């Protein structure tokens, strides 16, 4: 079965920057799973996955506009230190350059710490990978038809999770 609208793709990936350095990888973890055609992954990645089948391995290099978008100047905000959540540790000692999560009206967002004060932190709200050329090495593990419920909800359901919609 080919990856297309209303299919669920399971794949392993290794993400590298322009210098070829590994940024992150699903190696040793569960594969990434998403509903194709529901805007659940990067536009360029979804385009590259279209038509691929289980067992295929390939690499795709994405320009910023097909990944996390261009870097935008002036997207700095001051937030109370207590609103920053560590991605690794709950009680992180914040320093310039660290990545944190902040809860916003639009959901959780990753930010980069620019300046730390006693009670307030200045953060850059650009996605940490905005403006970067990224290469994904992809290994497609499985492709299946999406369920009606997944199609209605616009995302994948796993056997042990609930998305919070009333059933």
- Asked whether the predicted pLDDT for residue 72 surpasses 80, the reply is yes
Asked if residue 91 is part of any domain, the answer here is: yes
Neighbours of 145 (CB within 10 A): 12
Total domains present in the chain: 2
Give tens-digit pLDDT for 24-60. Answer: 999 999 999 999 998 888 999 999 999 999 999 999 9
**CATH number for the domain that contains residue 50:** 3.10.50.40
Q: Is 158 part of any domain? A: no
Q: Are residues 62 and 135 in the same domain?
A: yes
In which element (H, E) is residue 44 found? helix 43-49
Residues 29 and 46 in one domain: yes
Same domain, 22 and 93: no
- Domain with residue 116: its CATH number is 2.40.10
Residue 163 belongs to a domain: no
CB of 132 closer than 8 Å to CB of 17: yes
Phi, psi of 147 (to 5 degrees): -80, 160
Residue 159: the pLDDT is 55
Q: Which residue has the higher pLDDT, 84 or 106?
A: 84
Cα–Cα distances in angstroms (integers) from residue 20 to residues 12, 25, 61, 88, in the given order:
18, 13, 11, 24
Domain encompassing residue 82: 76-124
Question: How many Cα neighbours within 13 Å face the side chain of 41?
Answer: 21
Tell me if 54 is assigned to some domain.
yes
Is the model's pLDDT at 107 over the cut of 80? Answer: no
Q: What is the pTM of this model?
A: 0.80
Q: Per the domain annotation, does 48 fall within a domain?
A: yes
Q: Do 42 and 118 have their domain in common?
A: no
| Tens of pLDDT, residues 94-104 | 899 998 888 87
Inform me whether the pLDDT recorded for 135 exceeds 90.
yes
Domain check: are 80 and 33 in the same one?
no
Residues 61 and 100 in one domain: no
Sheet of 120-124: strands edge to edge? Answer: 76-80, 120-124, 107-116, 99-104, 85-86
């Amino acid at each position: 079965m080919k990856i297309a609208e209303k299919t669920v793709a399971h794949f392993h990936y290794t993400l590298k920057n322009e210098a070829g350095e590994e940024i992150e990888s699903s190696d040793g973890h569960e594969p990434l799973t998403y509903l194709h055609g529901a805007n659940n992954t990067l536009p360029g990645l979804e385009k590259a996955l279209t038509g691929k089948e289980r067992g295929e391995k390939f690499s795709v290099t994405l320009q910023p506009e097909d990944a996390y978008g261009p870097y935008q100047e002036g997207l700095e905000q001051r937030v109370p230190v207590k609103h920053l959540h560590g991605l690794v540790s709950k009680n992180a000692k914040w320093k310039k350059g660290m990545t944190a999560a902040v809860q916003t009206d639009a959901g959780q967002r990753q930010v980069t710490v620019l300046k730390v004060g006693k009670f307030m932190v200045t953060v850059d709200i650009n996605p940490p990978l905005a403006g970067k050329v990224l290469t994904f090495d992809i290994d497609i593990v499985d492709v299946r038809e999406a369920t009606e419920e997944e199609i209605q909800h616009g995302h994948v359901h796993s056997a042990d999770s609930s998305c919070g919609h009333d059933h």
